[in-house]
Chains A and B, each alone.
Chain A
Amino acid sequence: MRDPVRCDFDVVDTRDVSRHFGRRRALARTSLTFRAGEITGLFGPNGAGKSTLLGVLSTLMRPTAGTVHYGGATAQDLGDPLRRRIGVLGHDLFLYGDLSARENLEFFGKLYGLDRLPERIAGALTSSRLADRANDRVSGFSRGLRQRLALERALLHDPRLVLLDEPFTGLDDESAALLIARLRGLKDSGAIVLMATHDFESADGLVDRMICLRQGRVREVTPGGATLRDHYRRTMAEAWA
């Protein structure tokens, strides 16, 4: 097995990546570069290819054509330890309802072979403000509580590449503010953060780059000067008119 430290990277780039599902094109010749210390927002209508792009970057999906490079090496070059550097918060939350919050974190922490696991779990439960519900089964949690726990599960192993699919779903204002603070912390620590969302208000002022997708094609927009929603509407109207 390869040394996990050697799997570290500070840039991820997709080179002419396409992904098809049968005859449907989900991504079309996408070439993008994501750097450490950046938060990139992925925006687009349903079925635009946002989740597919996250799936390809996470190594769960293979591109139909093109390659993804993690610091110059492909997923095939880096092997299984690459996934030690990737954290994914999916639209489905990747949590076991019959396990408690603590057991979910313990299970995934052990599976990732993490050191200092009790401290990490205690920190995660505090960050998600679930310390008092740590031993409750996740099936009894509201969507917002599960979302908070799922975020901590995704970040438990200090990933370099953080992929978030609709991270604001189900969060109240206070939790959304905490998530924004958490994402800024990740950015400061040198993580590469990609976030697919429809929540323009929460993402405003947070994302450094804005990528709009439609029918698998991408347009990059530099945010600033207007709200993200305005940028999005203008891009959708002009680029795909």
Chain B
Amino acid sequence: MSVIRSAWLIARKDLIVEARSRELAYTTLFFSMACVLVFAFAFVVEGRPLDDAAAGILWVAVAFAGTLALSRGFERERQSETLRALLLAPTERAAVYLGKLIGLVVLMIGVEIVLVPVIGLLFGAPVGRAPLLLAALLVTGTLGFAIVGTVFAAMLVRAHSRDVLLPVLLYPITVPVIIAGVRGTAAIFGPEPNFEAATAWLSILVFFDAVFGILALWTFAPVMSE
């Protein structure tokens, strides 16, 4: 069976489980909305937000919601040790990695579809100014965050302090993603939009995804060996 087909089976299974329990969707949405609301009280004064606040808060919410989804997503596989069952299947370990990655990215993009209009509403951000470029930044940024996060979440699935260790390991490595996402989004949302700068930051995200995607596929199998 091909890696792609196996990965799709695993991702589809994750999405069916999520569609039934809605546990991750509700918790990540609630958490990201609460995060945005708190920042809205802090950074919007007399109806005027601080410069670039919307871009920063959007990516902070994405990072926090993503961490929550990563942690809980792998907790599900731990409960009946189903991760072991996946690793016992006669398919390459890369398929397990890709399946979990696709499931996570789909969920996070779903959260962002709700999150972006709320940011536009609360911070007056021009989210419709360059929708394709903004979508590309969000998709590549989310992918980069999830590429690194999926490896660490899988690696820590049996660690006792996994909830503490995951952000400690994840955030330093994904700093370039957050910076590129924030700067690229700020270039679109700014009073004088700079689409060239946004495209440059998008290129950095694509480069990050490519490099870390290859590294993750390469390291996942050894990382998962007990």
CB–CB B90/A60 < 8 A: no
Distance in angstroms between the alpha carbons of A83 and B89 in the assembled complex: 6
A41-49, A94-102, A213-221, A228-236: which lies at the interface:
A94-102
Evaluate whether A96 and B90 lie within 8 angstroms (CB atoms) in the complex, with A62-B226, A111-B1, A113-B1 already known: no
Complex interface residues of chain B between 65 and 89 (CB less than 8 A to chain A): 79-82, 84-89
Distance in angstroms between the alpha carbons of A88 and B82 in the assembled complex: 12
Distance in angstroms between the alpha carbons of A108 and B86 in the assembled complex: 8
CB–CB B225/A110 < 8 A: no
> Does A197 touch B at the CB level, under 8 Å?
no
> Does A183 touch B at the CB level, under 8 Å?
no
CB–CB A60/B13 < 8 A: no
Distance in angstroms between the alpha carbons of A112 and B85 in the assembled complex: 11
Measured CB to CB, the nearest residue on chain A to B16 is: A99
**Minimal beta-carbon separation of B14 from chain A (angstroms):** 10
> Could you say which interface size class chain B belongs to?
20 to 34
Evaluate whether A98 and B82 lie within 8 angstroms (CB atoms) in the complex, with A60-B226, A80-B91, A83-B89 already known: no
> Does A181 touch B at the CB level, under 8 Å?
no
CB–CB A83/B20 < 8 A: no
**Minimal beta-carbon separation of B157 from chain A (angstroms):** 13
Measured CB to CB, the nearest residue on chain A to B99 is: A111
Indicate which residue in B10, B16, B87, B90 contacts A112 across the interface (CB closer than 8 Å): B90
Evaluate whether A92 and B17 lie within 8 angstroms (CB atoms) in the complex, with A84-B90, A112-B90 already known: no
Interface-centre pick from B6, B79, B88, B91 (highest chain A CB count, 10 A): B88
Measured CB to CB, the nearest residue on chain B to A56 is: B226
How many A-B contacts at CB < 8 Å in the complex? 74
What chain A residues lie within 8 Å of B21 (beta carbons)?
Answer: 98
CB–CB A98/B90 < 8 A: no
Complex interface residues of chain A between 65 and 100 (CB less than 8 A to chain B): 80-84, 86, 88, 90, 92-99
What chain A residues lie within 8 Å of B225 (beta carbons)?
Answer: 61-62
Indicate which residue in A61, A62, A103, A108 contacts B89 across the interface (CB closer than 8 Å): A108
Complex interface residues of chain B between 11 and 65 (CB less than 8 A to chain A): 13, 16-17, 20-21
Distance in angstroms between the alpha carbons of A126 and B126 in the assembled complex: 59
**Minimal beta-carbon separation of A87 from chain B (angstroms):** 9
Evaluate whether A111 and B6 lie within 8 angstroms (CB atoms) in the complex, with A80-B90, A80-B91, A80-B92 already known: yes
CB–CB B81/A110 < 8 A: no
**Minimal beta-carbon separation of B8 from chain A (angstroms):** 10
Complex interface residues of chain B between 103 and 140 (CB less than 8 A to chain A): none
Distance in angstroms between the alpha carbons of A148 and B118 in the assembled complex: 48
CB–CB B13/A96 < 8 A: yes
CB–CB B226/A94 < 8 A: no
> Does A55 touch B at the CB level, under 8 Å?
yes
Indicate which residue in A60, A62, A81 contacts B84 across the interface (CB closer than 8 Å): A60
What chain A residues lie within 8 Å of B85 (beta carbons)?
Answer: 88, 90, 94, 108, 153
> Does B200 touch A at the CB level, under 8 Å?
no
CB–CB B81/A107 < 8 A: no
> Does B9 touch A at the CB level, under 8 Å?
yes
**Minimal beta-carbon separation of B62 from chain A (angstroms):** 26
Indicate which residue in B1, B6, B16, B88 contacts A60 across the interface (CB closer than 8 Å): B88
CB–CB A107/B13 < 8 A: yes
CB–CB B91/A95 < 8 A: no
Evaluate whether A96 and B226 lie within 8 angstroms (CB atoms) in the complex, with A80-B92, A113-B1 already known: no
CB–CB B82/A94 < 8 A: yes
CB–CB A97/B80 < 8 A: yes
> Does A140 touch B at the CB level, under 8 Å?
no
Interface-centre pick from B20, B86, B90 (highest chain A CB count, 10 A): B90
What chain B residues lie within 8 Å of A58 (beta carbons)?
Answer: 88
Distance in angstroms between the alpha carbons of A212 and B90 in the assembled complex: 31
Indicate which residue in B17, B81, B89, B91 contacts A90 across the interface (CB closer than 8 Å): B81
CB–CB A61/B226 < 8 A: yes
CB–CB B89/A111 < 8 A: yes
CB–CB A96/B88 < 8 A: no
B residues apposed to A, CB below 8 Å: 1, 6, 9-10, 13, 16-17, 20-21, 79-82, 84-92, 225-226
Query: Could you pull out 8 A-B pairs where Cβ atoms are within 8 angstroms?
Result: A80-B90, A88-B84, A88-B88, A94-B85, A103-B16, A107-B9, A107-B13, A112-B1
